[in-house]
Amino acid sequence: MSTTELSWFKSSYSSGSDGDCVEVAASPAAIHVRDSKNTRGPRLDISPTAWGDFVASVSGPRSTA
């Protein structure tokens, strides 16, 4: 699947000041990640299972201490 066929989006945590951001797009076979400042550069393709594990690990309960 080419990058033009994917629907890319930025995190809701991204700032509007061209900060360090990544964009993500989903397809049936993979989750695609790229640098928002270099959209024609390389991208990382991750299996849906690995992406789910990653999201679960970073969005788990946060410590208030």
Where in the chain are the domains? 3-11+20-57
Spatial distance between the Cα atoms of 18 and 20, rounded to a whole number of angstroms: 7
| φ, ψ at 33 (rounded to 5°) | -130, 135
DSSP H/E element including 46: strand 43-46
Helix (H/G/I), strand (E/B), else coil: 14:
coil
Task: Note the pLDDT tens digit of each residue in 42-62.
Answer: 999 999 999 999 989 988 776
**Predicted local distance difference test score (pLDDT) of residue 63:** 60
Whole-prediction pTM: 0.72
Helix runs in 1-65, H state only: 48-58
Helix (H/G/I), strand (E/B), else coil: 24:
strand
